[in-house]
Every structure is written in structure tokens, then in C-alpha cells.
Structure 1
Amino acid sequence: MSRSRWLPHPMLTLMLTVIWLLLVNTPSVAHLLLGAFLGWGIALLCRGFMVDLPRLKRPLLLLRYVLMVLWDILRANISVAKLVLGRIEKLQPAFVEVPIDIENEFILSVLACILSLTPGTVSSGLSADHKTLLLHVLDVDDAEALIDQVKSRYEAPLMEIFQCSNT
């Protein structure tokens, strides 16, 4: 049998072993062996639920992307605070359907999480074919401009970072 069948996720096994050792807080060979066994067993039992992580192709671009997302979150916090503290009649909440080109489930999850982390937007749903992401936005002036912003500012860089095909 192949290594991947008996040790499907070595890093997960190692991480779970370390977490076990930190939880028991008693260094001993018995706890190390028990932690390794538990880590291996949990990884083996969960292998069918794990998504394949795409290969990172542009790590420096990822760093720049993370900084941009953090900056956007900060700016959005200020904007949402102004909106919430202002006149509520001025708000224009809406659901916006954003067409998605990302095919990898992990990267699609990352995109949905980033959009939900940004105050004022929440990823509300995904179509059955994974081609349309439903966003709830607190204040929308122009839905098309929002779609263009999501695709150019968030989706396109993720596809470049992981060099996904755009089909």
C-alpha cells in the first residue's frame, strides 16, 4: 500500500500530535506515542473529507494580497461605522450575484471567507454549479461596479497566486 494511503496527511498528523502534547502538558514517551497514534488515526479517518490544497505559485503576491485584504477590512470597518451611525434611510442593502471563475473548492472558500470578513458584506450562498456567489451587501450604489471590484480586486489575484486556469 502506498504511503498516502497509510499516512494521508503527514502535516495534520504532526500538528495533532503537537496539540495533544500541549494539552496533556506532561512530557513522556507514552504521551508522545498516544498523540502520534491519535493524530494518525484522526487524519486517516478524515481523509475523505479533506479538500486538495492547490499549490502556491506566487508566495510574494500572496503576502501583498493579505496586506491588501487587511487594509480593505480596516477601511470597510470605518465605512460601516459611518453608515451605521448615520441615517439608516440612506442604506441600500442588496443581494448581489457575483459570477465566479474559480473552480478549486479551497480557493473558492478562501474568496467567500475574505468577502465575509470585510465588514458590510456576507457570502450568503453558492449556486449548485459553483459558478455564482451570492453576496449580501450593506450598502450598494452600483451592483455591476461591486461585481467588477470583487472579480478584479479579490478573485483575479487569488487565481494568479495559485495560477488557476480561467475557463
Structure 2
Amino acid sequence: MSSEPEVKPREERSSPGGLIILSVGLVVIWMLLWGQFTWLSLITGVILALGVSIVFYLPAVQMSIRVNPWYTFVFFARLLWDIVRASVGIAWLVMRPTYVPSNAITAVPLRTRSDLIMTWTAEAISIVPGSIVLDVDREDSVLYVHVINVRTLAEVEAFEDEVLRTEKRIALALGTKADIDRVRAGSAASVTIDRGEEQ
């Protein structure tokens, strides 16, 4: 009885265009993290992006092949404004002698299912002082975020709404038509998983 050899499915890989766009995104994020746009940060960012792309496996990311210049400008302008505003706010908290830390960890389900948008949203949140993404549930598109200086459930919900607005700005700038339809359809409910005060 003859048996046919098992045919293994072809491994899904990112297209060259997708890798280029992801590499450019890594370089921009690297320069934003360092807070300076110099030749040194550009060169080290390119080396890092190439190293990550070569050494680590990057799953295929569906690219929309569309960039909306206006919404891209709006996203970066708002990101820079959020960084400046949050930096001033954190500095004020540090100088207040009566400040009592109060932090929260919250789960924010995103509305899109795009790896690219989820990554950009997570990086945009982490770049802004006062919040950082602790974990990502890629399968369900959920970000687990630590945020400081929140004392009420309303403040946590306001932060979650801001995360969803960030996701929407990114989707309008870089997302597919399906992504845009999802973010315009409405926000998903977020669930706060832990919250406590440090005395």
C-alpha cells in the first residue's frame, strides 16, 4: 500500500515591502525612545532593526499599502503633545510633597486585529510618560497597561478611552478599510484586572 509523503504547509513570511515598513517603524520608535534625532541614533536604529529582522522570526503582517498623510500627521502631532503634557504632569507629581502614589493595571481590548496597529498602539502608549504596556495578548488583541496617578474607576476608564483613541488615530493613518470600519463602529469594553494604592 503506497503512501504519499506528507506535504507540510509553507511557512508564512512577511513580504519584503512589509519588512521594510516594519523596519522603518522600528527605527522611528528607537529614535523616539532616545528622544533625539541624530545621525548616531539613526544608524544604531537601522542596525537594531536589521538585527531584529534577521535574528528573530517575524510573523507575516498584512500591510494595508496605504498611508493617509493627514491622519499620520495628526497621530504624530498628538503623540508629541501627549509626551510633553505627560512629562510636565509627571514632573509636577514628583515635586508635590503630599503626593501619594496610586496606580492601576488595566486590560484594554483593542478593536482591530492587526499586529501592526497593535504594536504601534502599544509603543505609542509606552512612549508617553506615566503608562507602560506590561503584556500583550496577541490572540485576543488585548493590552495590559500599568498607569500611574489614577484613583477612581472613572479615571481608569478615561485612560482606557484614550488608548482606544490612540488606536483609532493609528488605524486611520495606516490601517486597512476593515480596521477603519472596526474603530469607527465603537469601542470595546475594558476590564480593570488589578488596582491598588501604595502607601
Q: TM-score, normalised by structure 1?
A: 0.66
Task: Please name the residue that 2:129 is paired with.
Answer: 119
Task: Please name the residue that 2:158 is paired with.
Answer: 145
Stretches of structure 2 that go unaligned for 5 or more consecutive residues are 1-14, 24-49, 186-199
Task: Please name the residue that 1:3 is paired with.
Answer: none
What letter is aligned with 1:119?
Answer: P
- Find the aligned partners of 2:123 and 2:138 in 1 and give their Cα distance: 18
Query: Contact conserved, 2:118 with 2:141, CA < 8 A, in 1?
Result: no
Deviation at 1:129, TM superposition (A): 2.4
What letter is aligned with 1:147?
Answer: E
Which of 84, 91, 97 is equivalent to 2:101? 91
Moved over 6 A (4+): none
What letter is aligned with 1:155?
Answer: E
Query: Contact conserved, 2:102 with 2:148, CA < 8 A, in 1?
Result: yes
Q: Does 1:9 pair with 2:16?
A: yes
What letter is aligned with 1:79?
Answer: G
- Find the aligned partners of 1:128 and 1:146 in 2 and give their Cα distance: 21
Q: Tell me the number of residue pairs that the alignment of Structure 1 and Structure 2 aligns.
A: 131
Q: Which sits farther off after the overlay, 66-75 or 87-96?
A: 87-96
Greater share of helix: 1
Deviation at 1:157, TM superposition (A): 1.4
Task: Please name the residue that 1:49 is paired with.
Answer: 58
Rg (Cα) greater in structure? 1
- Provide closer, same or farther for how the CA distance between residues 157 and 128 of structure 1 changes in structure 2, counting only shifts above 3 A: closer
Deviation at 1:54, TM superposition (A): 3.3
Stretches of structure 1 that go unaligned for 5 or more consecutive residues are 1-7, 16-38
Query: Contact conserved, 2:115 with 2:138, CA < 8 A, in 1?
Result: no
What letter is aligned with 1:49?
Answer: L
- Find the aligned partners of 2:168 and 2:58 in 1 and give their Cα distance: 27
- Provide closer, same or farther for how the CA distance between residues 63 and 128 of structure 1 changes in structure 2, counting only shifts above 3 A: closer
CA RMSD, aligned part only? Answer: 2.9
Deviation at 1:96, TM superposition (A): 1.4
Show CA shifts across 1:125-159 (max 9, x none). Answer: 1225233211101111321111112212x011112
SS in 2 for 1:49: coil
SS in 1 for 2:102: coil
- Provide closer, same or farther for how the CA distance between residues 47 and 99 of structure 1 changes in structure 2, counting only shifts above 3 A: closer
**Identity over the aligned pairs, expressed in percent?**
21
- Provide closer, same or farther for how the CA distance between residues 119 and 48 of structure 1 changes in structure 2, counting only shifts above 3 A: closer
- Find the aligned partners of 1:51 and 1:84 in 2 and give their Cα distance: 43
Q: TM-score, normalised by structure 2?
A: 0.56
Deviation at 1:46, TM superposition (A): 6.8
Deviation at 1:101, TM superposition (A): 1.1
Query: Contact conserved, 2:90 with 2:129, CA < 8 A, in 1?
Result: yes
- Find the aligned partners of 2:93 and 2:79 in 1 and give their Cα distance: 20
